[in-house]
Amino acid sequence: MNIVIGSGLSAISAYKKHNCDLMIGKGIIGGTASSTNNKKFLFDKGIHVLNTIPENGIGCNCNNYKRKAKIINKIGEIIDYPYQKNNTDNPINETPKNYLDYIIKRFGDKDARDFHVPYNDKFWKYPLHKMSADWANTKYVPKKNINGSYGTNDNFWYPSKGYIGNIAEKRYNSLNLQHNHDNVVAFDIKDKTIITNNNKYKYNKCYSSIPLNRINIDWGCCKKYIKRLKHTTIACFNFSIHNNNIKKSFEGLHWIYFCSKEIPFIRISFPSNYGGKTLKGYTTIQCEISINPYDKLKNYHDYAQIMKDIGIFKKIPTFISSEIINIAYCIPTLTVNEDVKKITQYLNKYDIFPIGRYGKWKNLWMHEVMNI
Ligand SMILES: Cc1cc2nc3c(=O)[nH]c(=O)nc-3n(C[C@H](O)[C@H](O)[C@H](O)COP(=O)(O)OP(=O)(O)OC[C@H]3O[C@@H](n4cnc5c(N)ncnc54)[C@H](O)[C@@H]3O)c2cc1C
């Protein structure tokens, strides 16, 4: 039988596309694009908005928003997003050697120093000169659009039900698929068998959205490629505040980016300003912090205090919940393309086909992993 592993958007889509007989997936439906409910407020795992609605639809009702995003730069000024809207944006004529080289060539020394380098250091927590620049033109603040706006999410969509997990739930419910909510613990590749906590399954073809570096398999000659895969971890702290306590210049914003080392957040979003579920009269707030395994997180109260000190709120917001996204962004290292190619070839020999953001080890958007 054909088996798909995972409960996220890629697994749900692959189930139908590859005529699978069984889905084995642990966790909440929607995976990384799911939402957690505490009755009054709903929070996604980090900012999650749809950059596009494909022609044949997304299977769930969405509202369209014109992005309202700001940056707080190194000296605390509030400026429009993206940064180069206000400053330099040079065409790149020669291939950059690495991501740091790309940043300097494209934005110039001053903007690199004042925003792009500190922001990217904080976001990736990985040496920028050891990252490739292949992806940067499209994924890191893309070029000006024909209409003069910037970026893929200049206009974006969000489910009218008030949480991103609604997309996966709708798709999942429409398929009536066979789903074992089980955890895959290993593969016996010689025997083409999937071993879970509760069972063993022989497969003909297996489509796996398990992160490549979490697949428990005899990796043979591929061990070194697996070891070279790097990723970020993101901690999300969720708060709410009464609308009367938001300072005027921050009212109605969708999200804000921060580059200063003194401010722990990479970004703060206001999900209820783009349709996220909330209590009447209250705005929801989510702080995202990129962390290393050896980083010590502060207490949620400290983060709330920092937001007040920056001058966003008149009062300290109320803490609601927190969440860690262990594997959040796949780091585009200098060797990532070669590593993923070798790993994929090895898995394909045993009829395992990696899918999705963490199977392809590429920072794909939701509409890309759904492949519609
Ligand atoms: C912070 C953040 C912000 C983002 N913002 C946006 C955005 O604004 N717009 C956008 O389009 N995209 C965004 N994305 C990307 C989007 O989340 C992904 O493209 C999409 O959710 C990936 O789906 P997936 O199915 O490939 O992976 P996942 O959703 O991660 O699915 C993997 C699944 O495998 C399951 N699994 C893992 N190991 C096992 C195992 N051993 N056994 C069984 N099951 C297992 C997991 O439980 C999960 O269900 C963002 C991602 C992050 C991290």
CB 15 within 8 A of CB 32: no
Look up the CATH number of the domain holding residue 275: 3.90.660.20
- In this structure, the answer to whether residues 156 and 25 fall within a common structural domain is no
Question: Would residue 123 count as lying in a domain?
Answer: yes
- In this structure, the answer to whether residues 338 and 201 fall within a common structural domain is yes
Can you give the pLDDT at residue 213?
Answer: 97
Protein residue closest via CA to atom 30 of ligand 1: 32
Please count the structural domains in the chain. 3
> Which atom of ligand 1 is found nearest the CA of 367?
11
Looking up tokens 């592993």, which residue turns up?
A: 5
Q: How far is the CA of 265 from the centre of ligand 1 (A)?
A: 21
Q: What is the pLDDT along the chain (372 residues), one digit of tens a residue?
A: 999 999 999 999 999 999 999 999 999 999 999 998 777 899 999 999 999 887 778 889 999 999 999 998 877 788 888 776 777 777 777 889 999 999 999 889 988 998 899 999 999 999 999 999 988 866 666 566 666 677 778 889 999 999 999 999 999 999 999 999 999 999 999 999 999 999 999 999 999 999 999 999 999 999 999 999 999 999 999 999 999 999 999 999 999 999 998 899 999 999 999 999 999 999 999 999 999 878 889 999 999 999 999 999 999 999 999 999 999 999 999 999 999 999 999 999 999 999 999 999 999 999 999 975
Tell me which residue of 322, 320, 326 sits closest to 277, measured CA to CA: 320
* Cis upstream peptide for 118 (omega within 30°): no
Protein residue closest via CA to atom 16 of ligand 1: 366
Read off the tokens for 346.
Answer: 């090895």
Can you give the pLDDT at residue 147?
Answer: 67
Q: How far is the CA of 6 from the centre of ligand 1 (A)?
A: 9
Question: Would residue 43 count as lying in a domain?
Answer: no
Q: How far is the CA of 210 from the centre of ligand 1 (A)?
A: 9
- In this structure, the answer to whether residues 156 and 277 fall within a common structural domain is yes
Gap between the Cα atoms of 136 and 133, Å rounded: 5
Q: How far is the CA of 328 from the centre of ligand 1 (A)?
A: 8
- What is the extent of the structural domain holding 189? 2-34+164-222+334-370
Can you give the pLDDT at residue 55?
Answer: 77
- In this structure, the answer to whether residues 18 and 53 fall within a common structural domain is no
- In this structure, the answer to whether residues 238 and 316 fall within a common structural domain is yes
Q: How far is the CA of 68 from the centre of ligand 1 (A)?
A: 25
**Ligand 1 pocket residues where CB is under 6 Å:** 5-11, 24-27, 31-33, 45-51, 183-184, 209-210, 214, 234, 325, 328, 356-358, 364-367, 369
Gap between the Cα atoms of 304 and 307, Å rounded: 5
